Amino acid sequence: MLDNVPLCDICFISGNPGEQEILVGKLHYREVQTALSLLQSGGNFLLKLFTMFESDTISLVYLLSCLFNSIDFYKPGSSKEGNSEVYVICRGFRKESVGECLDLNKAFDPVCQDRVILGRGDIPDEFLDKLYQGVLLFTEYQISAIERNITLFKQDIKSNPLDCARLDKLQTDIQELYLHNCRLKPIPDCDLIMSNTKNTLKQILTFDGRIENGAYKERLAKENLTLDQYIVEELSHIDVRCEDKPEMRCIDDLHRINFKEHIHLVKGKTLHSLQSSIFCLARLFKLLYEIRRERTDTNEIVTETEEQRKQRFLSRLISLNLPHNSTDTLILDLSSHCHLTHPNVYLSQLELLQLLIQTLATLPSQHSILLINIPLLTQFTVSTLVLLTGRLFEKVWFLLLHDSSSPSHSSHGILLHSLQRKDTEGILQHVADEYRTSLESSQNKECVLSVLPVTMLCEHPLLYKYVFEINCCVLKNHILSLIQSESPPET
């Protein structure tokens, strides 16, 4: 058994599947070397291999057969039939046999290119015959699976509802059979270490699905793309479609929720820049930081002036027949607080909250506020928006103005309609004071991260959806703006 080492998990990723066995060969030898140095006599070893066509792999497998009482090849049901992964289960390590084997230093030398540690005459024909039978069996399974997948791909099975339903039922039956045979049951809620948030957070969309980027040949062709071409290609696989989103959407039931009972200030490390957000697709952040990492010559994005943005929003409010009046609607352009460009997100959040508090203090009853380009990527800013709407205003309108010809001119806005009451309890001011105190006492190392539980922000049937879609469109347009503003790389 392993002594104080419960598990060693080594991963290797190759971009060339045709040479997979050769490329991972040195890794496999290192894995075996590590196992032999850790295992005690009688211990077991599990090794993941792929194909076993090369001489060095065959030599390694025979070596394992000499050092263990038994070795078996196994492909679990959870392993996809179309790939070549196979697990070698080695049982009963014979530690005393290591000294009897030939000198392994050469084979395990990282500088050595030739890892064929045994000649053809050193390996018995009986072993080679058994290995051949096993390799042939797994190869036939793999070929059969690939041929079936090609057939299904040509048939476009997704277009046939009956076939899809049949496959779904088959998957469900297999899952139930597995649970029954293994006698698996869910852990009772009372025994959970962490609360089961699966149902309350089922709307969360940031867990990106798998993107099908074509076959290996097609992926290889992408290596010749420029950075701009690569980003545009990746964006085409992300279903954002800003131009398809409604320009205006309304939520009018937030005032029915008693948010005061749920206020809970969560403090943590200050945010200088955002790497991800629960309110946006993670893949979009990945593309954004690929641009920032590769490009140091980013030019300033040419955008509208503040006055131009205000006029464009006012004209859209009129054309959309939204309830507003230019005399009782205060417009705040918050573009300078954008989390994607501000050098310190934590300072931007505090400045934004203070600005809103000052604005509310002088805003007459029944008047409205239009917040242009308010940042909505953090729990803190979304919590602030929910508190404003749920406690003080009648309803909230979400506006998304998309300009496909000029992404930098695309904007979003939040219309807080009809102030119903003042923040007489000073809740927002209390949050701002706590935020400022945390910064001062920690020398800007700690601040308030959230005001309301994340479950409350995500479980509303419309709020999370609207915020999520706006953020995805904003981030996509920001990425496209960066591409358009940057000088082409020198060739």
**Residues with a known catalytic role:** 48
Q: Give the total residue count for the chain.
A: 491
Dist. CA 63–CA 101, nearest whole Å: 8
Strands of the sheet containing 68-74, edge to edge, are 45-49, 86-93, 68-74
Cα 131–Cα 134–Cα 139 angle in degrees, nearest 5: 120
Residue 222: both structure tokens together: 């992408």
Burial 363-377 (b: 16+ CB within 10 A, else e): beeebbbbbbbbbbb
Residue with tokens 């009482």: 69
β-strands 411-419, 68-74 pairing: unpaired
Dist. CA 479–CA 488, nearest whole Å: 15
Dist. CA 59–CA 48, nearest whole Å: 15
Secondary structure (3-state) at 417? strand
Strands of the sheet containing 248-251, edge to edge, are 248-251, 393-401, 411-419, 368-372, 329-333
Secondary structure (3-state) at 300? coil
Q: Are 459 and 200 in contact (CB under 8 A)?
A: yes
CB atoms within 10 A of CB 437: 13
Secondary structure (3-state) at 418? strand
* Bridge partners (DSSP) listed for residue 372: 333, 413
Dist. CA 55–CA 117, nearest whole Å: 9
Concatenated DSSP letters for 161-177? Answer: HHHHHHHHHHHHHHHHH
Q: Are 370 and 412 in contact (CB under 8 A)?
A: no
Dist. CA 491–CA 57, nearest whole Å: 43
Residue with tokens 């309110």: 279
Residue with tokens 């358009």: 484
The dihedral region occupied by 444, where left means phi > 0, alpha psi between -120 and 50, and beta the remainder, is: left
Dist. CA 101–CA 440, nearest whole Å: 66
Dist. CA 423–CA 328, nearest whole Å: 19
Residue with tokens 């009648």: 394
User: Which residue spans within 342-430 are E strands per DSSP?
Assistant: 368-372, 393-401, 411-419
